[in-house]
Amino acid sequence: GHIVRNWKVRWFVLLQDKLLYYKVEGGKKEPSPKGRILLDGCTITCPCLEYENRPLLIKLKTKTNTDYFLECCSREERDSWALDITGAIHAGHPLQVQELHRMKNSFKLLGNISLHHIVERMCDSSTGIKLTHNLNQGSRYKETFTGSALVDWLISSSFAVSRLEAITLASMLMEENFIQPVGARSTEATRYSDLSEQFLDDSTALYMFAESSNKNASPKEEIKFNISELSGRIVKQGFLVKQGHKRKNWKVRRFVLRADPAFLHYYDPTKEENRPVGGFSLRGCLVSALEDNGVPAGVKGSVQGNLFKIITRNDIHYYIQASSKAERAQWIEAIKPLT
């Protein structure tokens, strides 16, 4: 309750843009809702740990900063509601907002998570995930694991506290090419544009370690940066979504714009070390906004608009999404004088 902080049973109905709740009298819900929670601009925290004696809470904070605490009957029910509410919140912004949400804060993934460390633990011969031979639609795959087995392992290894968090973390491992889908069931799921549906918590969906994450594989060559290019004055920084050069998928990156010398670097927010994963000189670059009516050539996947493009002096094309037209204009205005 908002005034008297007591707990009451309510019947909830989730719609596309709101969550309605009804009083229950005599085992039946009343015909008219007692209240509603508008989902536009909401953030969700699951699990919510603000009440020690109530571990099954979901917290919703509206864009007017009103907090709602909802208690479920079981962990499975809590995670199911959280997943469906999250889908409704981000239905209009399935790429930018959802990926930021997934990688940054709302489900409170551990701040010190290192994907490399998780993969090392997964490969451990005694405590790692068990690799098995699996048959999938007539094809036999060696050294694989199921989606549900990975979710179970992430929870039992204390990398996640719920299946929803574990799915989120497994999606990050797949997106960063530490694991890969094999077989029709898991491969088909990667065709979804919604990133939250690409990894399956399913005993029939098969996955395996990607070659780059194999214990015996040679480590990926690190990108070298000249100290001078990182010494410039920071003009602007913030989170944007960037299209990859090889896989053409979209990833959240923290961009830092520097002057004297003029460089644009981007960082992986999931990595512990504070060093760029890429960057380029802005001298001789061209930067321009891309129209939102249609997907430009060279752009793959689900695009929500607010795109801009940077073409380097070496004719390398970078496609970047901002969260709004205003943010896109601010970045373009900041970059242009440095080109």
The answer to whether the peptide bond before residue 47 is cis (omega within 30 degrees of 0) is yes
Any idea which residue has 């919703």 for tokens? 60
Lowest mean pLDDT among 189-198, 200-209, 287-296, 302-311: 189-198
- Between 73 and 221, name the one with better pLDDT: 73
The pLDDT value recorded for residue 264 is: 94
CA distance 87 to 101: 11
Lowest mean pLDDT among 44-53, 103-112, 121-130: 103-112
* Residue intervals in the chain for CATH 1.10.10.10: 115-214
Residue pair 318/310 in contact (Cβ under 8 Å)? The answer is: yes
- Within 10 angstroms of residue 331's Cβ, the number of other Cβ atoms is 22
Any idea which residue has 């959280």 for tokens? 82
Whether the pLDDT of residue 52 is over 90: the answer is: no
Is CATH 1.10.10.10 what the domain over 115-214 is classified as, yes or no? yes
Provide the percentage of residues in the chain whose pLDDT is more than 70. Answer: 78
Whether the pLDDT of residue 225 is over 90: the answer is: no
Averaged pLDDT of the chain: 78
10-105 in CATH: which number?
A: 2.30.29.30
The band of 198, judged by pLDDT with boundaries at 50, 70 and 90, is confident
Is CATH 2.40.50.140 what the domain over 227-336 is classified as, yes or no? no
Q: In what order do the strands lie in the sheet with 233-243?
A: 278-281, 263-267, 250-259, 233-243, 317-321, 307-311, 286-289
The CA–CA distances, whole Å, from 192 to 94, 118, 225 equal 11, 25, 36
SS3 186: helix
- Between 60 and 303, name the one with better pLDDT: 60
CB neighbour list of residue 196: distance below 8 Å, 6 or more residues apart: 83, 86, 87, 98, 102, 167, 168, 171
* Residue intervals in the chain for CATH 2.30.29.30: 10-105, 227-336
The CA–CA distances, whole Å, from 4 to 1, 7, 42 equal 6, 9, 23
Q: Phi/psi class of residue 220: alpha, beta or left (left: φ > 0; alpha: ψ in -120 to 50)?
A: beta
Any idea what the Cα angle at residue 333 is, between residues 275 and 246, rounded to 5°?
45
The pLDDT value recorded for residue 153 is: 93
Q: What is the pLDDT of residues 124-142, one digit of tens each?
A: 888 899 888 766 545 567 7
Whether the pLDDT of residue 34 is over 80: the answer is: yes
CA distance 36 to 156: 37
Residue pair 322/240 in contact (Cβ under 8 Å)? The answer is: yes
Q: 48: which strand partners?
A: 57
List phi, psi (to 5°) of 79. -70, -35
CA distance 68 to 60: 5
Whether the pLDDT of residue 58 is over 70: the answer is: yes
The band of 116, judged by pLDDT with boundaries at 50, 70 and 90, is confident
CA distance 39 to 249: 28
